[in-house]
Amino acid sequence: MLSTEELKNYVHSEIQARLGNVSCNSLFFTEGMDNGVEGTYIFSKNNEYHILFTEKGKIRSDIITNEEREVLWNALEIFSTPIIMGFAIRNREKGRDFRRTLFAKEKEIFSMFGKDFEKRKNAEIEDILNRNPYNDTSK
């Protein structure tokens, strides 16, 4: 079990090795609590990793895991969002569902972190599309 500082170093090392020097102002490697700054807190406590999300002064979720890869997954979701959204906005195609570009970039980024991340992201996107298929309009 890694300490919070070791977990921070692991996450930053993995992300920087693949995505370069990216940062996120709403991700904190410290223990979160009610009435704290809004964002996601990642920390190690009582031999468990916590991924805690706060909003409007309240804890909204606390994912507890023993897996460093699960922590990395959640951190990557946060770190990659601005990259993915920026790419999708810059590469929009008239008449095509915005999510086509967004999902393609998301798959590309997550696949950089291994087959397990690639498979999980593909399944997540497939589930989204099964419930809400692409909605392309004619040009």
Taking only the tens place, the pLDDT of each residue in 7-37 is 999 999 999 999 998 887 889 999 988 888 8
Pairing of the two strands 39-45 and 27-28: parallel
Q: 58 to each of 46, 62, 103, how far by Cα in Å?
A: 22, 11, 31
Sign of the dihedral defined by the CA atoms of residues 38, 42, 47, 48, in that order = positive
How is the chain split into domains, by residue range? 4-131
Percent pLDDT > 70 in the chain is: 99
Q: Which residues pair with 65 in a beta bridge?
A: 49
Taking only the tens place, the pLDDT of each residue in 71-102 is 999 999 999 999 999 999 999 999 999 999 99
